Amino acid sequence: MEEHTEIKQLPIASLHQYHNHPFKLYTDKRLDDLIESVKANGILSPLIVRTIDGGYEILSGHNRAEAARLAGLDTVPAIIRDDLTDESAAFIVTETNLLQRSFADLSHSERANALAAHYEAIKHQGQRNDLLCQLSEFIDTDRKQTVRQSGEKKSSDQQTAETYGLSARNVSRYVRLSKLIKPLQERLDNNEFPFLAGVELAYISSKQQGWIEKVLNENEGYRIDVPKSALLRKTLSSEELDYIGVKTIVSSNEMPENITTQGVRIGNKMLLKYDYFRSYHTEEEVENVIDKALALYFNQNQ
């Protein structure tokens, strides 16, 4: 990257946000703290940009640029990278944000879009150790240790899962969640429906998701839960449902008739397999243990 490390002062007015930025910008105290830091110390880490018609597109440093503008600066230090493919540019946008932020602090939609971009970058370009190492030169972070040795061969889903401390199943869920249209992603971030319901909806076409969004806009009292989302996915995938049918399901306050809950019997072989149950004797006691275990499991996997 040495040939690309020349730092130039660029006018803030010439900077534009990345065209498909998947992260929310800082607000409130976090933004105020960054503004005060910029006023006191200036921009410590240069932005990374590329040339576009009418100025420069920010790849790394959206929050620094905004803080600098609000702090009254006219220019910011930046590195211009015009040698990048669109995929490499998207990789930089995603990785620099994830290197600088805690993954746990991201909203569901930010996690989904970031993981999808990371997954695609690895899948189509192979391991981007070169870019990761280059980016780490400009970011003070412990995430350097996550850069893999070039000799390791792992699938893109394995790499993505291990990088962010997630199970492969949850990586798949988040990658699928990136297929949700933006209005539904915003509703998920606002806790208007459960994470797993969002995953179900993400299997539905964008046009049909638009029907769901329209129905939800018609009445703030409408709610989507996991059974409703599962029924919507099942029915819409077979094209048995139109807009009116979607509205009927979403507006219903009762479990749809064709969604049934089947009982599951746990035999003695399974119960005796674990010593935990040996101290419980009544059916109610065993059910309480299973109920708590399942609650813990599903909370960890959402």
Q: Is the pLDDT of residue 193 over 70?
A: yes
Nearest one of 228, 221, 229, 236 to 199, comparing CA atoms: 229
Domain residue limits at 223:
185-251
Contacts of 295 (CB under 8 A, 6+ apart): none
- Domain assignment of residue 261, yes or no: no
Average pLDDT over every residue of 127-133: 51
Domain count, the chain: 4
- Domain assignment of residue 16, yes or no: yes
Average pLDDT over every residue of 194-198: 93
Place of tokens 């995430």: 143
Q: What is the pLDDT of residues 64-116, one digit of tens each?
A: 999 999 999 999 999 999 988 887 888 888 777 777 666 677 888 888 887 88
- Domain assignment of residue 260, yes or no: no
Q: What is the pLDDT of residues 238-293, one digit of tens each?
A: 766 788 888 999 988 754 444 444 455 666 666 656 555 555 556 666 666 676 66
pTM score, two decimals?
Answer: 0.57
Shared domain for 73 and 138, answered yes or no, is no
- Domain assignment of residue 235, yes or no: yes
Cα–Cα dist 211/191, whole Å: 20
- Domain assignment of residue 263, yes or no: no
- CATH code of the domain covering residue 60: 3.90.1530.10
| CA distances in angstroms from 9 to 14, 17, 54, 97, 270, listed in the order given | 11, 17, 17, 22, 67
Shared domain for 31 and 49, answered yes or no, is yes
Shared domain for 75 and 34, answered yes or no, is yes
Burial 215-224 (b: 16+ CB within 10 A, else e): bbeeeeebeb
